[in-house]
Each structure stands twice: as structure tokens, then as C-alpha cells.
Structure 1
Amino acid sequence: MKTIKAVDAGTLTGRPLRYFDLVMCAFVVILLLSNIVGAEKRAVIHLPWIGDWPFGAGILFFPVSYVIDDVLTEVYGYARARRAVWAAFVALLFMAVMEWTVVHLPVAEGWNGQAAYERVFGAGWRIIGASLCAFWVGDILNSFVLAKMKVATNGRWLWMRTIGSTIVGEGADSLIFYPLAFYGLPDWPVAALGMVMLSQFVLKVSWEVLLTPVTYAVVGFLKRREGIDVYDTDTDFSPFHARV
């Protein structure tokens, strides 16, 4: 088993990393599927003493992307996490263009699935734009806060920086997405919009807390197998490029 060595992020240039590409792939896939499979459906769960509690089905899996973002930043550093965020952003943008193109292609005679396609894949550009902006800002902030907290705490208290960075990142995500996507619409009064923002934020952060043991296990495994523990002590934190 490799000895874990604390290194600066800049020293990883040219060094083979065994699992980075797999973790980045998982990050992109979960984001794409969360926006396709779970984004639209409204589900409900019965809670004791509370009753029926409606929620968006995507809330079950989207927060996992923040856990993976935490893992990427903690193990491989901010620059590589930023690279993964940009890869996911481009993938989401391509998905949006592909959805729009397929939905608006002329329908062949005798095919009756157009209404279903429009229902599932016909999200308006306002929602798509809000989703892209919220994701990019939220995940970049998540990585930035975690990387800075790791240096400030000298690598101690992983739970504090994963949860703390998620509070910042998910908070920004919710504050950007819901007003951009729904503010001013007749079926989204301001009070309802605020309640949805708050409940979604609490649920997302709660997922991060519940998954903390999993985060510890994955981070420990990757650090041991890669033999590194990266600190962003001399990193370019600009969010506007994907260089490592």
C-alpha cells in the first residue's frame, strides 16, 4: 500500500493519477442524469407528525454531485475539480442543445410520441439557462471553499469543510436557480418560491451530512491508492479556465 504524501497541487503536473478520470466521469454522468431523469417529477413522501411532503425527485441524486465535487477537490485539488466542473458544464450545454434539436425536428407521419417528448425534454431556455448558471457558480464555490478550508485547517476536520462548502455551494445554487427560472411566473408567488428554495436547500445539505461516512471512506480509499493528499497552497483560483 502506498504511503500518503502531502503535496502541493502544482506538483501533480505530469504525474499519473489512477482514478481521477473515473471520478470525473461519475461526476458528469450524475449531473446529466439528475437533469434528465429526476428534474421534472414531483414525488411525495409521508412523514410522521408532518404528513405528505412533496419534493422534486432530482433531490435524491443531484446532491451526490456535490459529494463527488468534494472528493475531487479534497483528493486531487481545486484545479482538477474545476476542470471536472467545466467538463460537466459543457456536457449539460450540449444536452440542452440536443434536447431542443430533437424536440423541434419535424415529426414523421404516424409517430405519436411528440407530446411525451415535449413534456420530458421540452424545458424552456429560461430554466435551462438558470440551471447552467446555478450549477457552475455553486460547484465552483463549493470547490473553492473546501480547498481554502483545507489549507486553513491543515487538513483536519474533513466533515467541517465538506459540509461547510456544501452550505455555500448549494446556497448559491438555490439562490440563483429558483429566481432565474421561476420569478414572476403567475403560478410561482414569491412566498411559495421562498419556501421551495429553503426546503430544497435544507434537503440538499442534509444529504451531504448523511453521506459523510461515505465521503470519508471514498476519500480515504483514493488517497491511499493515489498516495497523495493535495493542498492548494499556490493555486490559481480563477474559475474562468480549465487548466491544471
Structure 2
Amino acid sequence: MPKNSSKTVHFRYLDLVMAFFVAILITSNVASSAKIVDLGISLFGIPLAFDGGTLLFPLSYVFGDVLTEVYGFRASRRVIWMGFIALALSSLIFFFLRLLPAEAAWEGYAGSAAYDAILGGMSTGGIALASLLGYLVGEFSNSVILSKMKVLMKGKLLWVRTIGSTLIGELLDSLVFVLAASLTGVFGWELFATLVLTNYLFKCLIEAAMTPFTYLAVIKLKKAEGVDAYDVGVKFNPFGS
């Protein structure tokens, strides 16, 4: 059971974890619209092409697992919303940047067409909307499931909880993200099955591969912060209370 209350204790490293979490979110969001990667591998006849953010975004789930496991759902909820605000703000910046007049030399070697092709989804709402929706659904699902499993399993078998919650959270995230991006024209519908399957498989594999890091971070943080939060009686409302 908890060694301390995550609601009243000041934590030394929570802000640092949040900073890495938000940095990963924004970087992966840009990478998602920057490039579609195809390694020439197929599964059941479906090419395993993936957007650039797929390689980095799973790390946000690693940090999300660490946050929930160490600090509890309330702290994790706050960080998730901070990430949401940062993603929304970055989208607005790209939108207003798109409206500003281009310098002549830049227009010659790069140009507005290139900006729209690479960052257009973020500046017009496609990737931004897809990222925000997928992010909220996936991260909150992951946090709630991990938190409930911890109580039910009495804190044992961390790897089962982190991977189990990721399997559901990443599935919802991938489905919502690719669906919203396809509906807004960022990705063609011919890529729908490829991107959903590849996003899901790669994200889960990366999360599983990062399990030793998750264990190390959890052990170190619990010891340093003097806390091991169990969300007994907590209301899993994303909006607080």
C-alpha cells in the first residue's frame, strides 16, 4: 500500500518526468507528418509502412506507465493534460506560422508548398486533431487500466501491468489517430490498414523492449521520492475530482 500520499507530497522529479513526456509528444507529433517510412516488410500482405512518430511516441507510454505506477492516477492525469495543452499550443503555432508571408529566398528553395506538404496536417488541424484525440483516449486508457491492475494485483508483476495496459491503450490510440488523420485527408485511405497495424505492432514491441528501463525508472523513483501510490477509492475521471 502507499508509503505516502501523491496528493500532498512535493515530488523532486515529477516535473522532470513531465518535461521529457511533453518533449516526446511534440517531437513525435512533428515526425508523424514529416515522413512515412517503408522498410519493405509486409505482414499478411499488408506493407508495414509507418509514420515517423511511431518510433518515438511509444516512449510516452513508458513515461505514462512510470507516472501512474509511482505517483498514481491523479498525478498522471495532470501530466496528461499538460501534454494535451502543449500539443494544442504547438498546433496553433504551426497554424499561425503558415499564415505569415514567406521570404522570397526561402520560397525559392523550400516554399509554402513544401511546408503544406510536410506540416500542413499540423497547421490545418489534420495531424493535430488526430494526435490530440488518439493521445487522450490512449493515455487515459493506459493510465486507468494500469492503476486498476496495480490494486488488483497488489503491486506484483509490473511487466504484466505495463504491457497489458499498453496493448489496450496503444490499440485505441492507433485506431483513433489513423482514423482521424484519414478522415481529415492527412493519410490516404489506402494506408489505413497498414498504418493501424504497423503503428500498433511497433508501439507495443517498443514498449515491451523498454520494460527493463521501466523497471529501473520505477525502482529509482519510488526510492528517491519515497512514494508508491495505490489508487484505492480514486475516481478515474479525466476531468478531475
**Normalising to structure 2: TM-score of the pair?**
0.88
Alpha-carbon distance between aligned partners in 2 of 1:88 and 1:228, rounded to the nearest angstrom: 23
Q: Which runs of 5+ in 1 are unaligned?
A: 1-5
Counterpart residue number, 2:193:
194
Q: Mapping of 1:221-240 within 5 angstroms?
A: 221-240=220-239
1:26 pairs with one of 16, 20, 44? 20
Of Structure 1 and Structure 2, the greater helix share is in 2
* Residue-pair matches, total: 234
Aligned position for 1:105:
100
2:73 paired residue number = 78
Amino acid at match of 1:105: L
1:59, CA displacement in angstroms?
1.4
**Shift of residue 232, structure 1, vs aligned partner:** 0.2
Which residue of 1 is the match for residue 138 of structure 2?
Answer: 138
Tell whether the 8 Å contact from 1:8 to 1:234 is kept in structure 2 after alignment: no
| Counterpart Cα distance in 2 of 1:18 and 1:111 | 44
Q: Alignment partner for residue 36 of structure 2, among 38, 42, 61? A: 42
User: Whose strand fraction is larger, Structure 1's or Structure 2's?
Assistant: 1
2:99 corresponds to 1:120:
no
Deviation at 1:95, TM superposition (A): 0.6
Aligned-partner residue type, residue 151 of structure 1: V
Aligned to 2:166: 166
Residue 130 of structure 1 and its aligned partner are, at CA, apart by 1.8
Whole-angstrom CA distance in 1 between matches of 2:9 and 2:210: 30
CA, structure 1 residues 194+227, in 2 after alignment: closer, same or farther (shift >3 Å)? same
> In 2, Cα distance between the equivalents of 1:184 and 1:218?
38
The gaps in structure 2 that reach 5 residues or longer are none
The alpha carbon displacement at 1:67 in A equals 0.4
In 1: Cα distance, 2:101 partner to 2:126 partner: 23
Instruction: Return closer, same or farther for 1:183/1:94 CA change in 2, 3 Å cut-off.
Output: closer
TM norm structure 1: 0.87
Q: Summarize deviations over 1:177-199 as a string: whole Å, max 9, x none.
A: 1122214969423xx41232122
* Two-structure CA RMSD over aligned residues (Å): 2.5
Per-residue CA deviation, residues 133-192 of structure 1 (Å, 9 max, x unaligned), is: 110111011000000000000000000110011111111111211122214969423xx4
Relative contact order higher in (CA < 8 Å, ≥ 6 apart): 1
